[in-house]
Structure 1
């Protein structure tokens, strides 16, 4: 039996609510394309199409080195972008509202919260001395690069993979979280890794690198494309697909909402998350990296991990900063 006997009844009741909560989960870094990207939906049963080799023209983990010690909150250097933010009175964060544990809307308070949001709140605290001096602007997953590039937000923290293609459009902070693609299956599944799903239907968001990666697995699981990962979860709960594969961060949020699902296997891709900013203000990127350096050293990063992700184990060592 592939599903718990009560599952079909439960999922008929839960599917609508699940879709509402997770419809936009395609905002994860499973799509690591640059600014220009295709929106066409591949055939559900087709193997992943061939794509150009990944851009390896840079070290995407290497950011701009901090200029020195952080200035005191409320005393940003004259003429800097931080001074502009300080004069405005708030830091504008671009993020999603559907990525449970990283940036999702709390149904009781109405506030968007999570690990990514707290990363940006720590930047606000460094500028103002107050983490609440932040304005959250919910953006589509296909607007993350353009929003950072055109200055419609100050910073994007949204489970966003730093890669060379995106570095051509925006600056990234040093890496603040190491994600990777894994697989979500039914709790009674015998599969242990993606390799065990040969011939099985595995769902990912249309146009995402998660979808492409499924098609590249040697045992040939069948990639199934849906418009968003929320649609994948509904399809999984309704027994239309056997599994879902994307970033482990997204899968953790799905598993937290479905008692009959589990995440299996080691990561089979690397998805290093960075915060994105306009290239017009390199001093701001250096400032954000100084904030991250401080928070790695003083335990703030570990405390943030424990707050949002502690149910999955003790905090690992934070990603080590690399600089250009």
Structure 2
């Protein structure tokens, strides 16, 4: 046998040995890491009960009495409205997560809803048209008072319930909408009132009058508080809470987005929405009230309500204003 044949034979035997090794036993498999139940991730800043939120128990004033508007809608020199007009922008604190009242249209990217219509009408009375003259600032419920006290916005239009405690820090317009607290649950739930949820988790937004009611109700609910109502909706859909409790206006928007949910029970509170204004700007309060008078009397309130709210909550009329 010559040297070449020996070399070829050795190469073939090496390949066969390699293939045999690759087909051998792989040995004992390694156990994978144990897998337990994986819970749903929670929204940021989830908290517990807040009994002081909203200050609804303060009865030291008539919360609904606002400053009477001047005759007509005018913008005097040196007024807050004149400053806003000169700046070219009305800065409005609003919601972008509450369907029907203040939400971002996923198709157009624009903010829409009943509250947004009010902002646009106020801008129209200052500039002649709202287009290009409104700077929307999306804020949480808990930020409403802060942005007004720091004068970071000109107005807040964000389902803002008027209370005496809140009026110590900010000014309010006359009431532009009356809502009431109810419950949102899954259609499989048998709960129709807070008493049915004793020991159960109920969600509300931080610094809201709804959160205060949940925290202090004798049913001894497990209060869960979050930054935005949309966080409550996600937690209910994922089974992290048993119900959401807040104004029927907000709940109606959630139910409209998810047919597996329903608004139940009677109203167990009255929530009077007003437009928030920095404490110092009394002229702006009077101006906003004049605009609201025009909105009520011109049919603009009714048109906006029919578009956004009536399909979910039925017919309604604008509340009559009270003035000091």
TM range (shorter): 0.7 to 0.9
Matched, 1:85 2:84: yes
- Cα shift at 1:285: 0.7
Q: Offset of 1:139 from its aligned partner? A: 2.6
Equivalent residue, structure 2, for 1:321: 321
C-alpha displacement of 1:225: 4.3
Give the Cα separation in 1 of the matches to 2:234 and 2:318.
33
1:239-278 superposed matches below 5 A: 239-278=239-278
1:87-131 CA distances to partner (integer Å, 9 max, x unpaired)? 222211111211211111111111112111111111111112213
CA distance in 2, matches of 1:155, 1:227: 20
**Residues of 2 paired with 1:209 and 1:123: CA distance?**
26
SS at match of 1:251: helix
Distance 2:161 2:192 in 1: 26
1:295 Cα deviation from its structure 2 partner:
1.2
Contact 1:183 1:263 in 2 (8 A): yes
TM-score scaled to structure 1, two decimals?
Answer: 0.78
**Most deviating of 220-229 and 252-261:** 220-229
Q: Is residue 69 from structure 1 mapped to residue 72 from structure 2 by the alignment?
A: yes
Gaps of 5+ in 2: 1-39
The CA distance in 1 between the partners of 2:172 and 2:136, in whole Å, is 19
Q: Provide the C-alpha distance between the structure 2 equivalents of 1:137 and 1:223, rounded to a whole number of angstroms.
A: 28
Give the structure 2 partner of residue 30 of structure 1. Answer: none
Correspondence for 1:4: none
Distance 2:130 2:176 in 1: 18
Q: How has the CA–CA distance of structure 1 residues 321 and 158 changed in structure 2, closer, same or farther, with 3 Å as cutoff?
A: same
Contact 1:41 1:207 in 2 (8 A): no
**Farther-moved stretch of structure 1 (217-226 vs 182-191):** 217-226
> Does structure 1 residue 60 correspond to structure 2 residue 59?
no
What corresponds to 2:35 in structure 1? none
Give TM-score scaled by structure 2 length. Answer: 0.78
Q: What RMSD over aligned residues (CA atoms) do the two structures have, in Å?
A: 2.8
Report which stretch shifted further, 284-293 or 236-245. Answer: 236-245
* TM superposition shift of 1:291: 0.8
Larger radius of gyration: 2
**Structure 1 counterpart of 2:237:** 237
Deviation, structure 1 residue 179: 1.7
Where does 1:132-147 land on structure 2 (aligned, <5 Å)? Answer: 132=131, 133-147=133-147
3-state SS of 2:309 partner: helix
1:122 maps to 2:132: no
Deviations 1:36-70 (CA, angstroms, capped at 9, x unpaired): xxx99337xxxx76898822111111110011122
Structure 1 residue 238: deviation in Å?
2.2
- 2:48 corresponds to 1:42: yes
In structure 1, runs of 5+ residues without a counterpart are 1-14, 25-38
1:312 aligns with 2:312: yes
Change (3 A) 1:60 1:224: same
Work out whether 1:302 is the aligned partner of 2:302.
yes
* Distance in 2, Cα, partners of 1:295 & 1:226: 33
Q: Which residue of 2 aligns with 1:112?
A: 111
Residues 152, 224 of structure 1: alpha-carbon distance in 2 compared, 3 angstrom cutoff: closer
The CA distance in 2 between the partners of 1:187 and 1:273, in whole Å, is 29
Q: Deviations over 1:18-46 (max 9, x none)?
A: x9xxx69xxxxxxxxxxxxxx99337xxx
